[in-house]
Each structure stands twice: as structure tokens, then as C-alpha cells.
Structure 1
Amino acid sequence: MLSSIWRYRHFIISSIRGELRGRFARSRLGGLWFILHPLAQALIFSIVLAEVMRAKMPNMANPAAYPIYLLSGMAAWGLFTEILTRSMNVFIEQASTLKKISFPRLCLPIIVWGSALINHVLLLCSIAFIFLFFGHFPGLAWLYVIPGMLLISVLAFGIGVFLGVLNVFARDIGQLMTVVMQLWFWCTPVVYVATAVPERFQLLLHLNPMMPLVALYQNALLLDEGPHWGDLWPAILIGALMVSLSFFVFRRASADLVDAL
């Protein structure tokens, strides 16, 4: 599978380029919508929670600390959900292409992966610009976002491809994951701090592989600190396991994938 993907690398690159151009081809703002959608969602949360409900960061006097914390967490979560949900549905959405053209089917989620990473980098650039209005200047700790980006995308890709194969044969998977992703979001410290969770739920919180990855972004972008590397091992192991499992399932089901579509 890997060698066939390498042979089709130019097809993958051109498809990523074409997708980025075509998604908002007739839109006046074009690629800005890649950035405006998550920023608008983060702005709504900031207004409701920071202003209406007076949410604040503990032990921080900076009034912009919570919006920065929120934008950082939303960026990490946005990358995760985009890769996972689109990979989960890509085989169904591209059913007609799979039936007409012969190419390695695993190229499709890889195209999704590459497109999401480019979108995420553009979002981070816009977030850095917004932080300047808050008087918060990016530091060297922003470089820790790079391994965080890699770990989040690998975890999302593994889960997405695995569920994407299952979704072809059982369409209820996609409906179920819509609810699961909503619950997963609220079980991840994105709009709240982990210390605000009652003690009896702390163990459940720490079983969430996205918690240390979101915290990596928040520590780097808000506190200008590096991650706690020991906390990342569960996410690394789960990500590696899910990628291996997704490749195994995809290889076993690849022959029947088009027929099921």
C-alpha cells in the first residue's frame, strides 16, 4: 500500500491543490472561509463564556487570557475533527470516482489529511495575527505546535480511516459519530480548564487521548511553555495503534469496498 501511494504522490499533491482551489472557487472571500469559520465559532464561545458568564483563567490577570486559551484549544480540536470526520465519509462521498477510476483508494484520506494540514497552518497564522491585537506575542514555544500537529493528525487519520471503512458497510457509524464527537468535545478541556472538573471525573478526563494534545497547544500558545512529554505517551500509543488497525482493516476490506458502495 505504501509503495503504491508513493507512485501516486503527484496525483495526491495535485488533488490537494485542486481541492483547496475548488472548495470556494466561486466565493468572493475564497480561502478566507477556511479561517473565518473556526474563528467565528471561537468568537461566539469567547463572548458567551468570557463576557456573559465571566469565565476567567485561574491565576492569570490578563483579560485576554481566556480568549487566547479558547482559540488555542479550538485550533487543536478543529484539526482533529476535520481529519477524522472527512476521512470517515470520504469513501462514500467519492463513491462515483472509486467506481470509474482505478487508483489506490487510500489516497483519498491522505488527500483529506494534506488539505486539513494546510488549512490548519493558515488558521494558525491568522490566530498569531489576532494575538497581536491582544498584546500577546508568539514565542519560541510555538514550535512545539509542530509535533502536536503531527500527533493530532495521526490520531485523527487512524480513527477516521478505520471508521471510514466500517461506515461503508454500516452507515449507522457516521450517524453515531456525530453524537460521539459532540460528547468528546465537551469531555476535552477546550472551553474550560481541567482543574475545574470535579475530582471524581478526573480519571475519565485523563483517559481522553485528546486532552494532552489540546493542552500542548494551550501551553505553547498561551503560556509559551513546552508540553509535558510524559502525558503524551498514551496519545502516541493510541495513534500508532489506530493507524496500524486502520491499515489492517482497510487491506482486508479493500477488495469489497467498491462493491459495498
Structure 2
Amino acid sequence: MIDTLSVHLGDILPFILVGFGAQMVDGALGMAYGVISSTLLLALGVPPSRASASVHAAETFTTGVSAISHIAHRNVDWKLFARLIIPGVIGGVSGAYLLSNVDGSYIKPFVQIYLASIGVYLIWRGLHFPPQKRDPKWVGPLGLIGGFMDATGGGGWGPVVTSNLLIQGSSPRHTIGTVNTVEFILTLSISITFLLHLGWETFTTYTVGLLIGGVIAAPFGAMLARHVAPRTLFIAVGTILSLTSAFGIAKWLGYIG
């Protein structure tokens, strides 16, 4: 019994650590949980649709805890939330349906090139200009695209939506908190769509590890987002976005196995 238990713990522990680290980054910067987790599962040979389904199943719980934490720390702009939620869900459900029936990986490299350039711009802006708060104008279409890319790529809501809202002048702290809170509803919708089309077998033991680590880390990420300076958030978001996108591009070009 002990030997069996230790084997199971040994199998799941790496995924708990990945879930913890990914959620710490995601909660603080509004992105990267899905990207990091999906990259790991794909590297292990999990098919794209099943990897995305597993990650979104875990994210249903981690984003729920993260949303509660951001609300408690007053990081949520409810007007921005209302503008994002419906387009985001429509895009997410559409993307999940497409990925359940078609391989949606072909567009992903082009999106990663775009996100890498956005990341470099955010770093440059954080270093050279103090962030100027403005109400973002391009929100609905951004939510639609972000939700679609999140479902088809296993991660993308945060990188697409957070980065573009920051470019438009939205407050970094409230952008991150709002995007994370909307993500709970989005992820729940995507997970239900995958469940209806792919069945319960899509949710693997990897999901449990990602879930445990993510739930533990979620409150700490929201705390960081509240207390870190806006300029630092700009640079941190840009750095994470550039690194994760560059990794995806390198993998697409064959430099990484």
C-alpha cells in the first residue's frame, strides 16, 4: 500500500509543482497558466484537444479561487468585466467546438509571433514611459479573439487579452484582476464544451496535479498583483509573454524537440 501510494505521489508531484508555479505567474501577471501547462502536456505526447481539455478542467478550479482572491483584493474593474464576459465565452465555446473536430494548431505559430512582438513592446514601454491610465476602447472583439485562441491553443486568454488591454492604457492591476476573474466563466464554458464533445476520458491524472498546485498558489498571485508597481507589472508581463512565445516559435521551427 505504501509503495503504491509513493509511486502515485511520485507521478503526480511534478504536475503539482508545475500547476503551482504556473498559477503564481498567472495570478500575478494575468497569463501563462494555460501556456505553461499545455506546453508540458504536449511535450509528453498528449494530443492537442486532450491537453487543452485537461488544462481547462484544472483551470475551472484554479481560476475560481483566483477570481475570489482578486475580488477580495479589489483588483476587478466590473465595467471591464461586463464588456469582456459575453464575447469571451462565445469565442471560447466556438474554439472548443472547432478543436474537438478540427486540428486548430496551424494558426498557433502566427499568433505566437504576434504575442512575442507585443511582449517586446510592453517591456520597452515599461522601461521608457510611465503607464498612462486610459479606458480601453477595443474590448468586445478582443474578448472574442482571446476566448477563441484560449480554447484552440490550450492557453491564450491572458496573453492576448491582458497584453492588448495594457497597450490600450488599462490599469495593470485591474486588468490582471479582471482578466483572471472573467477567465473562470470562460474556462467553465470551454470545459463543458469539451466534456460534451470528447467525454470524461479527456480529463487525465495530469489534471489532478495541475489542479492541486494551481489552487494552492491562486491566493498568492492575486496578492502580488495588488502590491507590485504598475511599471514592474508592464515589464514582467512583457518578459513572460516574450519568453513563452519565443519558446513556441522555436518549437515550431524545430529547434526544440
TM-score, normalization by structure 2: 0.36
Instruction: Report the structure, 1 or 2, having the larger helix content.
Output: 2
* Structure exhibiting the larger radius of gyration computed from Cα positions: 1
TM-score, normalization by structure 1: 0.35
Question: RCO (CA 8 Å, sep 6+): is it higher in 1 or 2?
Answer: 2
